[in-house]
Amino acid sequence: MTQTNTPLAELLAYQKQTEALAQVAGRLSWDQETVMPRGAADQRGEEMAAMEAVLHARRTDPRLGEWLDACEGAEVSEADAAKLRHIRRDYDRSRKIPADLAAELARVTSVAQGQWAEARAADDFAAFAPVLSRVIELRQQEGQALAGGGDVYDALLNDYEPGATATQLEAMFAEMRPRLVDLRGKVLEKPQPAGLSGDFPAEAQMAFARKLALAFNYDLTRGRIDKAVHPFSSGSGHDVRITTRTAEDDPFNCFFSTIHEVGHACYEQNIDAGYALTPLGQGVSMGVHESQSRIYENQLGRSRAFTGWIYDQMRADFGDIGVDSAEAFYAAVNRVQKDFIRTEADELQYNLHVMLRFDLERALISGDLKVADLEGAWNERFEADFGYAVPRASLGCLQDVHWSVGLFGYFPTYSLGNVYAGCLAQALRVDVPDLDAELAKGITAPATDWLRENVQRHGGLYEPREVITRACGAAPTAEPLLEYIEAKFSDLYDL
């Protein structure tokens, strides 16, 4: 136990207040994407800038450096050592960022998010381009300050996946891409399974989404489910909220977005309660976070066993859904088809969407690609990768919220999370050999308990790759994911 009136105790007490304020700022963002009136956008931008100014001042307070120096070399617990590591990293980072730049980024990205939503609805990239240019300019300035003469994109990437580099990710993608493209070509030559048909009202979809969330052990006494333009998860500890979206002709959009976000939320809910409002009380990286959402959504949620349970539940709640067997339903859930939207992509094509964004955003940050040329570059790359043309901006470069809020360096963590999920699923199947029998009954606890014990409870205690290595008994590689995808879709399409 940390003694009172010591530099460590004073540091952690101060940090607890900073963590609490950061959660309040996060709640403002949640409100903006769910229930905030549209006319409040400019005011919310000022509010977010004010909150960021307060947080930046706290994160650069000279007392932090004094406390950290006083703790140097002290004998502390493993958890306290990890807290000190995170605080030192954040302190060193924050001191490199001018306070006015931090506040301006918060203000501009808050406003940009609303402008993106309007441009997306209107299919008007030109209307969004000016504010996107400003966001990129500010993020370039931030990256330059952080990089200190090094690679600017790597400096931004480090915010989301500490220790990763663009060069490492580029090599990983180069390994994955040929096998995915080859398999995709073979699958698309085959007849495609039928999709669903029927009546799927939005309210009924939301009720079913709640049922799925509970099946994956999302604690609704400490969370909630709302609707947003782009599904997301927000918060940590005792207040973890998710959003989803509905399309009355495509209930899978709602259902699997919900399972995906529940994976994120359960990670946060299942972190050791003793880590709450400390640097360990949140997911350690976006790659590890994405590993949880993807394994919930795909290796569990889209499995043959669990989709059999969903099939029975959907027929009970919606009546005739247009497919006449659990096996046909499993094929419909996992069918590979020509489409444009990353969040709706099947497991086979999803990573190709991420690779496209990774290359384009690196070019934007380096200055090799101008915002005025982004829509054309996106459309050209998409047609080269997928074989068909993008018909409008909302299906192309306006589909994702990430760039509007400045999340450059974030996209590659989606594929890294898939890689981590492939490794975790392989280890899970070894440790829980009868998993499918439980999933077929709608019981996910053997899997979610394993993930809580081996990944989620640790929060930020270990570095990202160490979390996965400890859980799997080996360092992560792309091979388990590729083997899983090749086996699954070869079986589905009789290759």
Q: Which long-range contacts (CB under 8 A, 24 or more apart) does 346-350 make?
A: 347/298, 347/302, 347/485, 347/488, 347/489, 348/180, 348/183, 348/184, 348/187, 348/485, 348/489, 349/180, 349/184, 349/386, 350/414, 350/418
CB 281 within 8 A of CB 271: yes
- Asked if 255 and 205 count as a contact pair (C-beta separation under 8 A), the reply is yes
Q: What share of the chain is helix, strand, coil (3-state, %, to 5)?
A: 70, 5, 30
Distance CA 386, CA 184 (A): 9
CA dihedral 239, 245, 251, 253 (to 10 degrees): -90
Number of other CB atoms surrounding residue 388 within 10 Å? 11
Check if 261 is active-site.
Answer: yes
**Residue 260 is labelled as binding a ligand:** yes
Amino acid at 161: E
* DSSP string over 342-406: GGG--HHHHHHHHHHHHHHHHHHHHTSS-GGGHHHHHHHHHHHHHSS---SGGGTTTS-SGGGGT
Nearest alpha carbon to residue 403 among 53, 133, 192, 175 = 133
Residue 290 marked ligand-binding: yes
Residue-by-residue DSSP string for 392-452 = SGGGTTTS-SGGGGT-TTTTHHHHHHHHHHHHHHHHHHHH-TTHHHHHTTT--HHHHHHHH
Does residue 236 contact residue 281 with C-beta atoms inside 8 Å? yes
Choosing from 261, 268, 361, 375, the catalytic residue is: 261
Distance from C-alpha of 322 to C-alpha of 133, rounded to nearest angstrom: 46
Provide the annotated active-site residues.
261
Q: Which residue ranges make up the annotated binding site?
A: 260, 264, 290
Q: Which residue ranges make up the annotated binding site for Zn(2+)?
A: 260, 264, 290
